[in-house]
Amino acid sequence: MNGAMFEISDIVLYFIPIVLLYFFSESVNRHFRNQQINIKLADLIVPYLMMGIQILSIQTFGKSIFSYFLIFILSLGMGIAILIAYKKGEIIYSQFFKTYWRFVFIFSFFTYYLLVGANIINKLTIS
């Protein structure tokens, strides 16, 4: 296992989202709740996850899959808009964006950790 050395930057990249969500979620949520703003830490971590998807995909595959991910989440937005319009007969923008952004978080989180797993496997098989 001499060639499969994980650098500190790799370990930080792998665990930052989980550490942030576990340790800081309640305090960030409480802060925004006191200001009467409906924002959660999961909403704020999405840009980091997207940046991580870009970095991890280049590290793992040698090319970025971010454009495919972007096409997916934009298609997801169109699907959610169509579903809300069909179901309720109108699109309420605040409801749409809240629903859409939470789905973007879920898919970003899963894509990020699929890439983390692929990156670990890639590092272990190179050695």
Q: What is the pLDDT of residues 63-98, one digit of tens each?
A: 999 999 999 999 999 999 999 999 999 999 988 999
Q: Is residue 3 part of a domain?
A: no
Q: What are 14-64's pLDDT values in tens digits?
A: 889 998 888 888 888 888 888 888 888 888 899 999 999 999 999 999 999
DSSP sequence for 47-105 = HHHHHHHHHHHHHHHSS--HHHHHHHHHHHHHHHHHHHHHHHSS--HHHHHHHHHHHHH
92 inside domain: yes
Residue 119 lies in a domain: yes
Domain that holds residue 60: 8-126
- Residue 104, pLDDT > 50, answer yes
Q: Provide the number of structural domains found in the chain.
A: 1
Residue 116 within a domain: yes
For residue 31, which amino acid is it?
H
| Per-residue pLDDT band at 127 (split at 50, 70, 90) | low
Give domain status of residue 2, yes or no: no
pTM of the model: 0.85
> How far is residue 75's CA from residue 56's CA, in Å, rounded to a whole number?
23
User: Quick one: pLDDT band at residue 4, thresholds 50, 70, 90?
Assistant: low
